[in-house]
Amino acid sequence: MCFVKCLKKAKSFLLEPTKAFKKEQKTSFVEAFKYVLVIGPILAILNGVIAGLILPIISPLAGIITIIAVAIMSYVALIITPFISGLIVHLFAYLLGAKKGLEQTLKVTFYSQTPSMLFGWIPIIGSIFGIYGIVLQIIGIKNLQKMTMGRAILAVLLPIIILSVLLIIGILLLIFTIFSLGIHFDTNMFT
């Protein structure tokens, strides 16, 4: 899959997501995977460069190592994360009446990374594109799994809500554990 074709597809997902997902109904998951392999380096490289600029650089070599390490980790995350989130979203979609298989959900999770792959590297506002990725996931699940919009919203948002609640509970348990053990922080140690 060539870079120019992938950029056209990315534009379609950004500007006409319903139409873009309908075009992908008959394609294989391999196409979505190739798409991420081709577009993903944009985010990976730019994440590395931003990290190299933001993090304090001790030496030029440390800066280069930081750029390379962050770029590699970003690229690997772009490949692994949609598999994991796809499995979780598919479980919820299945429980809510998804009519198509896991492959359709995985295509959605890969393609819905488009906003983040192109603009997620921009500090602060990059998170807005992550939110748009969630919107794309909802649109994709609705179209590729033949679900109602309400069920698609639940299939995508319930795992996020559940994981957020579990994370908050975990943080609160950690805080309560620290305080129950009598560990305290001396506020004078920083002055």
- Domain span at residue 36? 3-182
6-37 pLDDT, tens per residue? Answer: 899 999 999 999 999 999 999 999 999 999 99
pTM of the shown model: 0.83
Q: How many domains does the chain have?
A: 1
155-182 pLDDT, tens per residue? Answer: 999 999 999 999 999 999 998 888 888 7
| 188 within domain boundaries | no
Q: What is the pLDDT of residue 71?
A: 87
Pairwise CA distance, residues 130 & 116, whole Å: 5
| 191 within domain boundaries | no
- Contact (Cβ atoms closer than 8 angstroms) between residue 145 and residue 98: yes
Those residues with Cβ within 8 angstroms of residue 14's Cβ, 6 or more apart along the chain or in another chain: 114, 115, 118
The identity of residue 129, as a single letter, is F
| 35 within domain boundaries | yes
